[in-house]
Amino acid sequence: MMDIQRLMIIGGGQMGSGIAQVVAAAGMNVILNDIDPAYSLKGLGTIRNNLIRDVEKKRKSQAEMDAILARISLSSDLEDGRNVDMVIEAIVENMQIKSELFKKLDLICPQHAILASNTSSLAITEIASFTKRPDQVIGMHFMNPVPVMKLIEVIRGLRTSHETYLLVENLAKRMDKVPIEVNDFPGFVSNRILLTMINEAVFCLYEGVAARESIDEVMKLGMNHPMGPLALADFIGLDTCLAIMEVLHEGLGDSKYRPCPLLRKYVAAGWLGKKSGRGFYDYKKREQ
C-alpha cells in the first residue's frame, strides 16, 4: 500500500491552516497553498501562534515546534502539487469553484495521488466526476478547530476504491484523529443533524418562542451543549450555515430542511456572525 509522505493543502484559511498543522505534526511534509499568498502567510502565522501556545503550556518542546514548522512550505501555484502523494482541498463551499480546482489537480498531480475534499456538505461523487480518477477521490471532513477536534468524517463517493478509503483511514490515525466512515449524502452526518438543529433554533427566534439568550441557555443548561446554537451559528458563519441548509434542502427535497427566512435576511444584510462583527449577537459591542 502507498505510503503518504507529501501533501498539499489548498486554502490558507482557518480549516486549511489547521489541517496543515496536524499533517506536519504527524511527521509529513506539507505544502500550504492559497491563490492569495497573503492567506497562506496568515495561515502560517496562525499555526506558529498555536505551536507557541503549546510550548508555553509544555505540551510540545521548542525543538518539536521548530521541526513542525520546518515541514511546512508555502505556495500560490497549483503546479507545486506535481510531486505530492495527496491533496486536501479546504476552499469555499461552492461546487463550481471546487469542480474547476479538481479538474486542474487531476492534470497536475501524479497518477497515484489521492484527491480529498474537506467539504462539509457537497457530494463527493459529483466532485470526483470532474476527474479521471474518481476511485482516488474522497471526502475528509475535519472539525473546527482542527488541531483540537478528534473527528474526521471520511466520505466515500460512489466510485471511491476500498484502497483509497484504507489509506485515508490510516492517515487520519497517523494524525491522531478518529476517522468515522460516512456515505455520500447531503450534509453527511455531522451537518445534517447540527445545521437542522441550528435552523430550528433560528425558527424559534423568528417565531418569537424565546429571546436569543434564552434559546442558547436552554441548549447549554438543558442539553449540556458547550455553546448555544445561535452563538455557534455566529461562530460558523451565517453564510456557511445558509449554504449548507440549501444543500440539504435541494439534495433531500424535504421541507424540514427549508432555511429559516430570518437566516436568509441576516445573510442578505451582511450579518454573517463573528467574522463580520454582527450576527445573532453584536460582537462590536462586546469588544468595547
Instruction: Enumerate the active-site residues.
Output: 120, 141, 153, 191
**Rounded to whole angstroms, how far apart are CA atoms 283 and 270?**
14
DSSP H/E element including 151: strand 151-156
Please report, for residues 198, 201, 230, 268, 285, the alpha-carbon distance to residue 43 in angstroms, rounded to integers and kept in the order given. 28, 32, 27, 28, 27
What contacts 136, CB < 8 A, 6 or more positions away?
Answer: 112, 113, 114, 115, 160, 161, 164
Query: How many other β-carbons are positioned within 10 Å of the β-carbon of residue 116?
Result: 27
- Read off the C-alpha cell for 113: 495521488
Report whether 138 contacts 170 (CB < 8 A): no
